[in-house]
Amino acid sequence: MPFDLKEIASISGMPGLYKIVAPTRNGIIVESLTEKPARSVAQARNRVSILQEISMYTNDEEHTVPLAEIFDRIRNQYGADLPVNGKSSTQELSSFLESVLPDYDQERVYASDMKKLVQWYQIVNQFVPYAEAASDTATADASQEDETPSASAE
């Protein structure tokens, strides 16, 4: 996935998203993803959710879609200018999510989840580098390697 969400976390009781810096004896040191990053300690009693481990329900009971993949779809479809924000109506959020993930489970994905998705995407898009160039370069290199042996075999 182009967005690397392994070290990005949401922490209960603390607004926004945080980059995990280092572990401590009683929790973890985190840095806020804001214009002026501030470091703080998230205690062990706080619930820390790593964004890479979060996924969204679909109509298929056996399948969920990882948050990183949803962020990638949003970026490919809308870029940085989303038609909705965290204060949009439930109807607007629902139609937005349906345009990005048509088979999301409308009974298990709540309006609050959609608001978080939009808010988190805006933060991640602004503060987490998108690895599009690296993946495109790797794909181009791999396709050139595939073409080279066939050309020499002729």
DSSP 9-49: EEETTEEEEEEEEEE-SSEEEEEE-SSS--EEEEETTS-EE
20 and 44: one domain? yes
> Does residue 85 share a domain with residue 73?
yes
Average pLDDT of the residues of the chain: 84
Same domain, 35 and 62: no
Contact at 8 Å (CB) between 56 and 101? yes
5 DSSP assignment: -
Q: Which residues of the chain have pLDDT under 70?
A: 1, 132-154
36 shares a domain with 90: no
CA distance 42 to 47: 9
Burial 56-81 (b: 16+ CB within 10 A, else e): bbbeeeeebbbbbbbbbebbeebeee
pLDDT at 98: 94
Whether 19 and 29 have beta carbons less than 8 Å apart is answered as no
pLDDT tens column, 90-129: 999 999 999 999 999 999 999 999 999 999 999 999 988 8
Looking up residue 82, the CATH number of its domain turns out to be 1.10.10.1650
Full-model pTM: 0.80
- CA–CA distance from 135 to each of 30, 57, 123, 132, 154 (Å)? 28, 27, 22, 5, 29
Residue at 23: amino acid letter: P
| Rounded Cα distance, 84 and 95, in Å | 10
Are 59 and 98 within one domain? yes
- Rounded to whole angstroms, the Cα distance separating 119 from 50 reads 16
Q: How is residue 27 written in tokens?
A: 């929790």
90 occurs within a structural domain: yes
Range of the domain at 112: 53-129
